Amino acid sequence: MQLTSPESLIFWTTIIFIVFFILLAKFAWKPILGAVKSREESINNALASAEAARLEMQNLTADNERILKEARVERDAMLKEAREMREQIIADSKNEAQEQGQKLIEQAKAAIENEKNAAMAELKLQVSTLSLSIAEKLLKEELSNKESQTKLVEKMLGDVKLN
């Protein structure tokens, strides 16, 4: 290589490089590196917050699961309670019905007894009335014949049996 005057290129390289460096550092590298750095930070922040959101989501899911489980238990309990209650009610009503029936039966029995007694009394009355009328009739008949009258009375009396 043919060496040329060294001062020319050395002088200009120094001047141009230094000016170029200062201008670039101020107007280009500073904003570019700043922007790149802040963007990287924002990306990191975004990633971190995404991770946080993911964790929160996980927590929420766990919570939901727990709540669901609790709800299921509660539902089961409620169902059980309801079943018990139903059984209780059924049992209670059965008892009551039985009681009521019993009572009704008792009442019916008492009424029947009363009726029966009344009927018996009536019957007695009727029988006695009937007997009297029979007796009357018989008497009327038999009394035409004294002997037979007596005979009849005796026979009838022998037949009649008070209950």
Partner 1 sequence: MYLCKNFLEPKLETVLIMIISNKPVQYLLVTLLALTSSINFASTSVDSVSVKHDDVELAAEGHGTTSEHGKTVGHDVEKEFNASELINSHIGDAHDFHIADWNGHAISFNLPVILWTNNGLEIFSSEKFHHDNEGHHVVDINGQKVVRYKEVIFYADKFEEMTKEERDNGAFAFDARPLDFSITKNVFSMLMSAIVLFFLFFAVARSYKNNPNAPKGLAGFLEPLVTFVRDEIAIPNIGTKKYGKYMPYLLTIFFFIWVNNLIGLIPFFPFSSNLTGNIYFTFVMAFITFVVTTLSGNKNYWGHIFNTPGVPVWLAPIMIPVEIIGMLTKPFALMIRLFANITAGHIIILSLVSLIFIFKSIAIGPVAGAFVLFMSVLEMLVAALQAYVFTLLSALFIGQAVEEHDHH
Of the pair 16, 67, the CB lying nearest partner 1 is at: 16
Neighbours of 124 (CB within 10 A): 13
Site residues for partner 1 per CB under 8 A: 1-14, 16-17, 19-21, 23-25, 27-33, 35-36, 39
Query: Which amino acid is it at 140?
Result: K
CB of 47 to partner 1, least distance (A): 15
Of the pair 6, 158, the CB lying nearest partner 1 is at: 6
Of the pair 1, 160, the CB lying nearest partner 1 is at: 1
Rounded Cα distance between 67 and 33, Å, is 50
CB of 50 to partner 1, least distance (A): 17
Burial class (CB within 10 angstroms; exposed 0-12, middle 13-18, buried 19+) of 52 = exposed
